[in-house]
Structure 1
Amino acid sequence: MLKGKKGIIFGVANDKSIAYAVAKKLRADGALVVASCLNQKAYELVSPSLLSLDIPVQPCNVEDHEQLKEFVRDAAERFGDFDFIVHSIAWAPLEDLHGKVIDSSSSGFSRAMAISCHSFAVIAHLCVPYMRHGGSMVTMSYIGADEAVPHYGLMGPVKAALESLVRYMALELGPQNIRVHAVSPGPIMTRAASGIEEFDLLMKRAIERAPLARLVTTDEVANLTAFLCDDGSSGMTGQTIYVDGGCHAVA
């Protein structure tokens, strides 16, 4: 049901990232996809694998508003309009991420919020004019938005704000038939996750806690994201949907 649908995947870091798995899945299901990466260094890393899938990719730093506007404008010139937007961007300064939330700097907290949360709203603002027939917007969260997870620190409040943003965006964009969701994967060893201290213990706890007794894969996250971009999810919006082996459901 994705054949002929068109959209953007923001935040491909490498071929192990969730965004890469999502881009690969959507393209395999027939969608036309444009992807973004952070900078030229990332471009040199991800472009060979993405271009081999017929997925154009460009550097786009969401902190650079003019670059972001140009990227969306270029994608719109290529496609005409969009059916889906996938936001897979998260960042916090290591000194704030590795410290206590009460010790976090105002600048670090603000920048983490701007990049990891507010950028989704900015992207929506830029892309909505090209979603004249409705569509889906999906972002990536984590259970640390709802529970206090050791060593997740600053990103917990940021992801909580992101999930709240999803609900308000769903309310505001519903009349335009634009659906908005957060996907909340279990812990996966990606480049972004490598910045979290003792991440191996977090993964171990997830396996012990999950009813499925295992971690999930980026492909499983991509499968859920594809469903949310598909017309089969047309009656759904405003949700945080877990793909975590059932961790969220048990104490």
Structure 2
Amino acid sequence: MAPPVVDLSGKVGLVLGIANEHSIATGCARAFAAAGARFCATYLNDKAKSFVEPVTRGLPCEMLLPCDVQQEGALETVFDTIARRWGKLDFLLHSIAFAPKADLHARLIDSSTAGFAQAMDVSCHSFIRCARLAEPLMRAGGALLCVSYEGSIRVVEHYDLMGPVKAALESSVRYLAAELGPQGIRVNALSPGPIATRAASGIDHFDDLLAEAARLAPEHHLVTIEDVGGLAAFLASPAAGRITGTVVPVDGGQHIMA
């Protein structure tokens, strides 16, 4: 019998961005586990830990570590711990985004220098830092994944500041894929349709965005965290061995509609 297409048996990964049971990262972590992988997960702070622990309980999460990517040395500590425990890393999911509320709810033209810089650092540059730290642990190759959104390539009402930030993230995916390709490290972005997560709830008029997505999608269904997880597990697996530098939509076909 042929092995399953999505097989992560023996693989170890890092999942950044679980906030609660509704997070995109949660759907991905469950899919990684179902495909046979073990993983390390992170939480933002002590308050967040109480929401992340119930998600990882029962999953093959061998390490649950604090990590605020804005805190000096926090990412390095996570990767040092992984290096000591496993000595390698096969895949990584970065599902972190943030912008100050005042800037997120303002027009892009009115965004503050500090707010724009913070959004770019947390949502984009932290992924680049993850790639740099993961590279020496992916000696046999690996997969780096991040999470984007269609607002990177077209104007989505009320998405504003995060549009240029996600555009930068997607461009970074292409450049990282080119730089890390010789080492057998693939870099891709997941681009889900809108999902009712805690992070997304900060976007102004988000309910209207959900309704519009369901109206436009050919099957008129919203995407789920399980849908995103299935794509993430595939892209992390050897079955996607020749897919890199790509932004992959998982939005029920919404992106093909006017």
Q: Same fold (TM over 0.5)?
A: yes
For structure 1, which runs of at least 5 residues remain unmatched after alignment?
Answer: none
Query: 1:166 aligned to 148, 157, 173, which one?
Result: 173
Q: Which structure 2 residues correspond to residues 32-51 of structure 1 after superposition, within 5 A?
A: 32-51=38-57
Indicate if the aligned counterparts of 1:43 and 1:58 stay in contact, CA closer than 8 A: no
CA positional deviation for 1:46: 1.1
> Secondary structure at 1:215's aligned position in 2?
coil
Residue in 1 that maps onto 2:93: 86
SS at 2:139's partner residue? coil
Alignment pair present for 1:241 and 2:248: yes
Q: In the alignment, residue 10 of structure 2 is paired with which amino acid? A: G
State whether structure 2 residue 203 is matched by structure 1 residue 199: no
Question: How many percent identity over aligned positions?
Answer: 49
Gaps of 5+ in 2: 1-6
Q: Deviations over 1:111-164 (max 9, x none)?
A: 000000000000111111000000100000000000100000100000000000
TM-score normalised according to structure 2 size: 0.96
Cα distance, 1:168 vs. partner? 0.2
Q: Distance in 2 between matches of 1:83 and 1:71?
A: 15
Task: Name the structure 2 match of 1:102.
Answer: 109
Q: 1:54 deviation in Å?
A: 3.1
Q: Is the 8 A contact 2:22 2:197 kept in 1?
A: yes
Query: Partners of 2:139 and 2:126 in 1: how far apart?
Result: 21
- Structure 1 contact 181–241 (Cα < 8 Å) conserved: yes
Quick one: which amino acid aligns to residue 23 of structure 1? A
Q: Which amino acid aligns with 1:34?
A: C
Deviations 1:56-114 (A, max 9, x none): 31110011131210111112222110110110000000000000000000000000000
Could you tell me which amino acid in structure 2 is paired with residue 74 of structure 1? T
Partner of 2:22: 16
The correspondence for 1:229, drawn from 227, 236, 239, is 236
Mapped contact 1:42–1:59 kept (Cα < 8 A): no
Alignment partner, residue 11 of structure 2: 5
Tell me if 1:137 matches 2:134: no
Q: Are positions 1:210 and 2:217 aligned together? A: yes
Amino acid in structure 2 at the alignment position of 1:171: A
Q: RMSD over aligned Cα, in angstroms?
A: 0.8
In structure 1, how many angstroms separate the alpha carbons of the residues matched to 2:23 and 2:119?
A: 19
- Greater displacement, 98-107 / 58-67: 58-67
1:168 alignment partner AA: Y
CA distance in 2, matches of 1:234, 1:67: 30
Shift of 1:201: 0.5
In 2, Cα distance between the equivalents of 1:166 and 1:10?
17
Q: How far apart in 1 are the matches of 2:175 and 2:72?
A: 22
Cα distance between partner residues in 2 of 1:203 and 1:16: 15
TM-score (norm 1): 0.98
Q: Deviations over 1:198-238 (max 9, x none)?
A: 11100111111111211010000000000000000001100
2:128 maps to 1:125: no
Structure 1 residue 185, shift from structure 2 partner: 0.1
Which moves more between the two structures, 44-53 or 79-88? 44-53
**In the alignment, which of 78, 92, 95 is matched to residue 71 of structure 1?**
78
How many residues are treated as equivalent by the alignment? 251
Contact between 2:26 and 2:55, CA under 8 Å: does it hold in 1?
A: no
Shift of 1:52: 2.3
Q: Secondary structure at the match of 1:184?
A: strand
C-alpha distance in 1 between matches for 2:145 and 2:235: 8
Which secondary structure does the structure 2 equivalent of 1:52 belong to?
A: coil
Match of 1:219 among 215, 219, 226: 226
- After the TM superposition, which parts of structure 1 deviate over 6 Å for at least 4 consecutive aligned residues? none
